[in-house]
Structure 1
Amino acid sequence: MTSVAMPFLKCIKTSYTKQRIENSKRNGLRHAIFTPQTKELFKGYYIGEWKNDVKKGRGKEVDRDGWMYDGSWLNGKKHGCGILSKISRKDHTIRRYYIGQWIAGKKQGFGHNWFKDGSYYEGDFCRNKRHGYGRMWHCNGDYYEGAWKDDLYHGMGLLVKDNGNKYEGQFIKGKKEGYGTYYHIVTGQEQRGFWTNDWFINGTISDADFRQRATCPTPYPIPEVEAITRINDSQNTSEIMEDDQKAEFVFIEDVCKRAPKRIIENICVSINTCSCLNSIS
């Protein structure tokens, strides 16, 4: 008679303790609560997916300090797309701080970031720092658009100040460095040249195309002209001074004498400063 081996009679090699540990591991959708050590802190919890007792998949976590993350997880760390927020201890309102991509628990990729002082940034991140191309709205009214490196302006960029003045050119470690142009919107001038450590060291300053529309255009040493009564016959007349003062002669012309076809240095360096200069090319 032939004996038949029964599979259910095989000896189980896994110990009872190890088997209980494997069965106790969290897998799938679970809800874990973490009790805070002090009453002032929040009660931390995690609701989401697990694999082999590690957070993996979609989940939402609130830690004991009030930080809340809702998004994707991998190997127990934030990974993928997610939202980071903070719960206020006073009124329990929720304020968003970051929306975007994560890799291994750090901001990396494109994202939106709100700062405590009210500033806002949207652009590229690398290991929790602004790195790559991005735009920044500062709380003081300044605006920057361009390249970043390690949380600082670095590369080509455009910086617009709160008063309207703007700089377009190169930056290194957050400062103007290299060739760039600074537009003085208030005075209507362009400052082109080379910069070092935010200082203009070599270049030129000239009137911009928008100077005539500037709020406070730069004044020039134009000769003063006294207001006098126009005389039609264009002849020499004498003005007798009272109080026994000596008479002095004043020569009056009926029209403003036209300027030559070139700009006179140290007198007028701007076209259309006087009405008689409109025809100067």
Structure 2
Amino acid sequence: MGICQSTHIQYLEDLKIRQAPILYVKKSPVLGMHKVYLGNLPTLDEFSHEDDQIRRASFSYNDDVIYNGQWTRNKRNGLGILEWGDGTYYEGNWKADEIDGNGKFVSNNVVIEGQWKNNQLNGYGIYKVDELYKYEGYWCDDQKLGIGKEYYDDESQYIGNFDQNVKSGIGIYIWNDGSKYEGSFKQDCLNGMGELRWANGSWYKGEFVNNYFHGQGCFQWSDGRRYEGNYVYDYKNGYGKYFWEDNQKYEGYWKNDKWNGHGILTKSNCIIEGEWIHGKLQKVK
């Protein structure tokens, strides 16, 4: 029993190893460049044509905006291009003076192509900001809603559900090193049940809260060691089992990643059952 008591320290050294490299989940940006231009479009009210005939003409507005396209009853209707003095433009479909249907908006490094209604993105659309960011998916009143894909400047990507512009629901997040998470999201964070696999072979399957391991889960290191039990914000807390690759194990209580409380350490040649405080054996039963 003396040998068994003295050698448990080498097992505690294993627990100091960080579970896996830290991975960061990119936030979904708020995309609003087009609203600066499309939020207050000029009108054709100063012209007197009131019939239903579709006309095509070019008009210049006082604020250095030019429209070239079809119009009916003093309103932009059909295909047309609206250009601003700084080079920004929208090209596509119009209805009753509003952007409605398929169209393309370009301003500096922003390119948007997709379906519009009431001057807002509605339906399927692609929003690209140079090589820094790209979204492909569905919109509702200028907000990402439903299934979509996001591509980020660090070559990570997200494929899954959105709600009110943020990742929410079931999705997949892939990092540039090949690490991958599949599971539930809420407010742009890993929330709920999910499985996270690192490129080095380590994995975690269980509950998440705001990108932390939180609740019941199982973590396995790439060398075969495994923990099954409760987490509190990434730390082993509460009851859990820790298995070494040679099938030796500890089962019992934890606090802040250390054995704390009643526990049993099972080795190949003996068993230690006792009380632990901050990872140190205090009393043997």
Question: Fold conserved (TM > 0.5)?
Answer: yes
- Could you state the TM-score of these two structures normalised by the residue count of structure 2? 0.60
Residue type at the aligned position of 1:136: Y
Moved over 6 A (4+): none
Q: 1:59 to 1:161 in 2, by over 3 A?
A: same
Residue type at the aligned position of 2:228: R
SS state at 1:27 partner: strand
SS state at 2:76 partner: coil
Residue type at the aligned position of 1:204: K
Aligned partner of 1:138 in structure 2 is 175
SS state at 1:185 partner: coil
Residue type at the aligned position of 1:206: F
1:106 and 2:143 aligned = yes
Aligned partner of 2:203 in structure 1 is 166
5+ residue gaps, structure 1: 1-15, 37-42, 89-94, 219-261, 268-281
Alignment of 1:175-190 (within 5 A): 175-186=212-223, 188-190=224-226
Q: Of the two structures, which has the highest relative contact order with CA contacts closer than 8 Å and spacing of 6 or more?
A: 2
Aligned partner of 2:159 in structure 1 is 122
Task: Provide the alpha-carbon RMSD of the alignment.
Answer: 2.7
Contact 1:79 1:102 in 2 (8 A): yes
Residue type at the aligned position of 2:142: G
> Displacement, 1:96?
6.4
Residue type at the aligned position of 1:193: G
SS state at 1:26 partner: strand
5+ residue gaps, structure 2: 1-44, 51-71, 249-266, 273-285
> Displacement, 1:118?
1.3
Select 1:54's aligned residue among 93, 98, 101: 98
What is the rounded CA distance, in whole Å, between the counterparts of 1:77 and 1:193 in structure 2?
48
Q: 1:17 to 1:192 in 2, by over 3 A?
A: closer
SS state at 1:84 partner: strand
- Could you state the TM-score of these two structures normalised by the residue count of structure 1? 0.61
> Displacement, 1:52?
1.0
Give 1 or 2 for the bigger CA radius of gyration. Answer: 1
What is the rounded CA distance, in whole Å, between the counterparts of 1:114 and 1:104 in structure 2?
22
Select 1:27's aligned residue among 51, 73, 77: 77
Residue type at the aligned position of 2:222: I
> Displacement, 1:70?
0.8
What is the rounded CA distance, in whole Å, between the counterparts of 2:130 and 2:119 in structure 1?
22
Select 2:121's aligned residue among 53, 78, 83: 78
Residue type at the aligned position of 1:130: K
Contact 1:112 1:123 in 2 (8 A): yes
**Greater share of strand residues, 1 or 2?**
2
> Displacement, 1:24?
2.7
* Aligned residue pair count: 189
Contact 1:193 1:203 in 2 (8 A): yes
